[in-house]
Structure 1
């Protein structure tokens, strides 16, 4: 489950990063028509793009930090109560085995 989450998280972050790169390329390629309205729109786009990039960086850092905290917490729990962890793993294996054996019929 953790690997699936990590893969989906990585794909999502890559997609967001690509959207930001595309928006930045669009901004750079935008042609000024010389009007005040065009210049104001381009400046507004630049400000929003900068804000989005900052928010993306914060989000990426936050997700990474929470993932590390969750992994550390899980690791601590397993080391503090190894027999509980083995019991839960055995129970999950038993339920999963029973479920799969019924589905195979």
Structure 2
């Protein structure tokens, strides 16, 4: 379920950036024809778009940090509850990596 949430957040972030790029391109095209008060309105719209993008990035960053901390906590809990299983898994992974690296 955490994976679905991360995917949804990534999709929302990508959509936000696509909208930002589209808005910025449109605003830049329109800015060539504008002067005075209209240019100020255009600059404010660009500023608002960039602010939304920054907020979306900060939200995504925080979500990734939270997921990383949750993964670390889950791993630490598992290892403390099942130390022999964790040791066996680590030994197996080490053995497989050793086999793979010796073939090259």
The answer to whether the aligner puts 1:76 opposite 2:67 as a matched pair is no
Shift of the alpha carbon at 1:13? 1.7
Q: 1:60 to 1:3 in 2, by over 3 A?
A: closer
The answer to whether the aligner puts 1:46 opposite 2:46 as a matched pair is yes
- Relative to structure 2, which stretch is displaced further, 31-40 or 5-14? 31-40
Shift of the alpha carbon at 1:12? 1.7
Q: Quote the residue 1:22 is aligned against.
A: 22
Using structure 1 for the length normalisation, give the TM-score.
0.63
Q: Quote the residue 1:5 is aligned against.
A: 5
Q: Contact 1:32/1:39 (CA < 8 Å) preserved in 2?
A: no
Higher RCO, Cα 8 Å, sep 6+: 2
Q: Quote the residue 1:95 is aligned against.
A: none
Unmatched segments (≥5 aa) in structure 2: 83-104
Q: Contact 2:13/2:60 (CA < 8 Å) preserved in 1?
A: yes
Runs of 4+ in structure 1 off by over 3 angstroms are 31-35
Mapped to 1, the partners of 2:7 and 2:50 lie a distance apart of: 27
Using structure 2 for the length normalisation, give the TM-score.
0.64
Q: Quote the residue 2:59 is aligned against.
A: 59
Q: 1:69 to 1:47 in 2, by over 3 A?
A: same
